[in-house]
């Protein structure tokens, strides 16, 4: 599929541009170990990603304490422990998926405006972009706490379109999660689903994005 007349491409972050799951899991496990709870595997943590940091911590604690006593856990304290650990391990094993760097370079060179809309806390975005040497490709990035609503609300996508002064029909959302597809549909925006991400272990095709790609570099054939 070829998308004509697009000017602004908005990317999801975790599961689309970067595989952050090893560092997220490490930080979840550091938090859990504080309460002598069993460690979770990467596979166990994957379906907890997508709605932001608090749901990730909450789902992980619920899973790890299944049947165990949890009255000793104060959620706000556990959340701070997780944030502290992630701050220190933000980009140890996180990497860009295959084709991401070359494709960002290609799109940037072609004159597209590029932005990121993630449900990750804002404070974590820039350090990762810098560490992975991709910061300068993006005009804007927003996190779950940047405005009052997050994906699957249309609000963050509408906010970015307005910031960049681009009409919705000239924007394209690219993401791995149903939250990305719903946000795009709620904003009446075309969207590309990537099949290799997390998406609660569900097929992205089940959410009917405008187009699906299996490798990020395929975007170069669409734009
Ligand atoms: O941190 C999350 O829960 C999801 O982040 P994402 O929106 O970049 O996939």
Which atom from ligand 1 is nearest to the alpha carbon of 56?
3
Which domains are delineated in the chain? 8-19+95-221 (3.40.50.1000), 21-88 (1.10.150.240)
Q: How many residues does the chain have?
A: 223
Say how many Å lie between the CA of residue 48 and the centre of ligand 1: 10
Contact 56, 46 (CB under 8 A): no
Which atom from ligand 1 is nearest to the alpha carbon of 180?
7
Catalytic residues: 12
Q: Report residues whose beta carbon is within 6 angstroms of any ligand 1 atom.
A: 12-15, 49-52, 56, 118-120, 177
Res 67: pLDDT: 74
Res 22: pLDDT: 97
What is the DSSP track for 126-181?
HHHHHHTT-GGG-SEEE-TTTSS--TTSSHHHHHHHHHTT--GGGEEEEESSHHHH
Task: Name residue, tokens 């959340």.
Answer: 79
Res 159: pLDDT: 98
Residue nearest to atom 1 of ligand 1 (CA): 120
Say how many Å lie between the CA of residue 180 and the centre of ligand 1: 9
Say how many Å lie between the CA of residue 182 and the centre of ligand 1: 14
Say how many Å lie between the CA of residue 115 and the centre of ligand 1: 14
Check the CA dihedral 127-56-104-185 and report its sign: negative
Which atom from ligand 1 is nearest to the alpha carbon of 121?
1
pLDDT tens digit at each of 223 positions of the chain:
999 999 999 999 999 999 999 999 999 999 999 999 999 999 999 999 999 999 999 999 999 998 777 888 999 999 999 999 999 999 999 999 999 999 999 999 999 999 999 999 999 999 999 999 999 999 999 999 999 999 999 999 999 999 999 999 999 999 999 999 999 999 999 999 999 999 999 999 999 999 999 999 999 999 9
- Nearest to residue 197, comparing CAs of 218, 184, 215, 183? 215
Residue nearest to atom 5 of ligand 1 (CA): 119
Which atom from ligand 1 is nearest to the alpha carbon of 24?
1
Distance (Å, rounded) from C-alpha 41 to C-alpha 46? 9
Contact 112, 9 (CB under 8 A): yes
If one residue of 116, 118, 129 were mutated to test the ligand 1 pocket, choosing by the most ligand atoms within 8 A of its CB, it would be: 118
Res 143: pLDDT: 98
């Amino acid at each position: 599929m070829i998308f004509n007349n697009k000017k602004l491409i908005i990317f999801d972050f975790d599961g689309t541009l970067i595989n952050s799951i090893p560092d997220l899991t490490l930080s979840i496990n550091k938090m859990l170990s504080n309460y002598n709870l069993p460690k979770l595997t990467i596979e166990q943590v994957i379906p907890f990603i997508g709605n932001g940091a608090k749901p990730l911590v909450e789902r992980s604690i619920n899973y790890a304490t299944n049947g165990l006593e949890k009255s000793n856990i104060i959620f706000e304290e556990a959340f701070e422990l997780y944030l502290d650990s992630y701050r220190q391990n933000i980009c140890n094993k996180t990497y860009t998926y295959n084709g991401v760097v070359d494709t960002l370079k290609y799109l940037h060179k072609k004159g597209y405006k590029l932005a990121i809309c993630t449900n990750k806390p804002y404070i974590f975005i820039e350090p990762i972009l810098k560490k992975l040497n991709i910061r300068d490709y993006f005009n804007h990035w927003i996190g779950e706490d940047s405005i009052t609503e997050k994906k699957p609300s249309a609000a963050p996508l509408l906010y970015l379109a307005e910031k960049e002064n681009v009409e919705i029909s000239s924007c394209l959302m690219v993401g791995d999660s149903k939250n990305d597809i719903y946000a795009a549909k709620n904003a009446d925006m075309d969207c590309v689903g990537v099949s290799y991400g997390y998406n609660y272990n569900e097929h992205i095709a089940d959410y009917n994005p405008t187009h699906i790609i299996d490798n990020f570099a395929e975007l170069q054939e669409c734009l």
